[in-house]
Amino acid sequence: MALKDIIILPDTQLRLVSKPVETVTPEVRQLVDDMFQTMYDAPGIGLAAIQVAQPLRLITMDLAKRDENGDTNPQPRVFINPEIIAKSDELSVYEEGCLSIPEYYEEVERPAKVRVRFLDINGKVHEEEAEGLYATCIQHEIDHLNGVLFIDYLSKLKRDRVMKKFSKAAKRAAE
């Protein structure tokens, strides 16, 4: 396994539309392992392949809660070529963040429940109802596969402000 660099706003690769995974090759399995390592190291609860500069429709996730001792029982999940096939009219609001937009959090309103279809690491098709944090996280990550970021749901004023902040930081880092 290897840690990958997470690409950060305003990297334009974040706006790419990722391509479907045709077959789960050893390279894809390696990428999934690397994504888990990178996600746990960050730490984060979800990661799309494009965030490590791989434009493939591939997501890793772990929504396991920490207990009082701060220990977690890992629940690693992989979603290959995931799609939302139904969404509720009911909406819910969650404060979202993104490993590609570090230390920035804002409330986003999304469908409270979605039905998601995806392949697992063995290429088997699954369909699941997602609600709560799972629903928010899977919608956020699938957005990444389509070049969409959670800041796209904010007001233009807020979005412009965060873009400016990250553009300035990138310029400073390049100097």
Chain residues that interact with Zn ion, rule: CB under 5 A: 98
Which residue's beta carbon is nearest to the bound Zn ion?
98
Interior CA angle at 9 toward 8 and 15, to 5°? 105
Output the CA torsion 132→134→138→140 (10° steps): 50
Cα–Cα distance for residue pair 160/157, rounded to 1 Å: 5
Give whichever of 42 and 169 is closer to Zn ion, judged by the CB atom: 42
Task: Compare residues 58 and 98 and give the one whose CB is closer to Zn ion.
Answer: 98
Beta bridge partners of 84: 116
141 in active site: yes
Q: Which of 127, 128, 141, 175 is catalytic?
A: 141
Q: Which two tokens stand for residue 145?
A: 């596969």
Work out the burial of residue 142: count CB atoms within 10 Å of its CB; fewer than 13 is exposed, 13-18 middle, 19 or more buried: buried
Q: In the complex with Zn ion, which residue's Cβ is closer, 59 or 98?
A: 98
Distance in Å, CB of 140 to Zn ion, minimum:
6
98 or 145, CB closer to Zn ion? 98
Nearest approach, Cβ of residue 48 and Zn ion (Å): 7
Minimum CB distance to Zn ion, residue 148 (Å): 10
Q: In angstroms, what is the minimal distance from the CB of 71 to Zn ion? A: 25
Residue 61's beta-bridge partner residues?
46, 77
Q: Among all residues, which ones are annotated catalytic?
A: 141
